[in-house]
Amino acid sequence: MDSLIPYSIPVRGLRVGTHQFDFQIDREFFRRFEESPVADGQIQVHFMLDKRPDMLVLHFQLAGTVKTDCDRCLAPIDLPIANAQSLIVKFSETEEAEDADVVYVHPEIQQLNIARYIYEYIILAMPIIKVYDCFSEANRPCNLEMLQYLSSENSEPQAAPESNPIWEELKKLNKN
């Protein structure tokens, strides 16, 4: 059984108006996406679908944590993420190119699977540098050995670079 079926919204049977859905994203969700940079997490998704006669307006709000390695100390952490995105789904009988904010589907579509959009918005919510303010936590997940090593590397005075005789000769030419 396909584990992404719960993310299929029965568009055909919904009346015009606003509909709300809530999803819990976990490890099983991320396993369905090959080469995902996220393997595990706990994310709550609040999804609102505004069905109109000529289009669907989708609103996604997500908040939770993803498991990753800290870029500061390499310890495994639960990185907090949050994101809010909107997507417009227009009906079209002809094949049209998708846009970042607009998707085209056939008017007779029975159901719309939103798993791909949830996955993309989770990945977009992740910061480039995976660190967070863990200093306020009672049990910090930091790898103290790595932090101590990094602080000792930064505190040592750097030796002056050796002078290069080639550069010294070139500097003399500039003075002439």
Residue 70: both structure tokens together = 């800290």
Q: CA-CA distances (angstroms) from residue 127 to 48, 75, 115, 121, 133?
A: 25, 17, 21, 12, 13
Distances from the Cα of 71 to the Cα of 42, 82, 144, 167, 171, angstroms:
20, 19, 13, 38, 42
| Biggest CA-to-CA distance, the chain | 87
Report pLDDT for 157: 59
Q: Where are the domains of the chain?
A: 5-155
CA distance 84 to 82: 7
What is the pLDDT at residue 118? 97
Whole-angstrom Cα distance, residue 75 to residue 136? 16
Beta bridge partners of 76: 69
Question: In tens digits, what is the pLDDT along the chain, a chain of 176 residues?
Answer: 477 889 999 998 899 999 999 999 999 999 999 999 999 999 999 999 999 999 999 999 999 999 999 888 888 899 999 999 999 999 998 888 888 899 999 999 999 999 999 999 999 999 999 987 777 777 877 877 887 877 776 555 566 667 788 888 888 887 76
And the tokens for 122?
């989770």
**CA pseudo-torsion sign 82, 36, 86, 8:** negative
Contacts of 141 (CB under 8 A, 6+ apart): 70, 75, 76, 77, 78, 134
Instruction: Measure the CA–CA gap between 56 and 119, rounded to whole angstroms.
Output: 19
One-character DSSP codes across 80-147:
EEEEEEEEEEEE-SS-----SSEEEE-TT---EE-HHHHHHHHHHHS-SS-----TTSSS----HHHH
Per-residue pLDDT, 30: 94
Q: Which residue, chain included where needed, has tokens 């108006």? A: 17
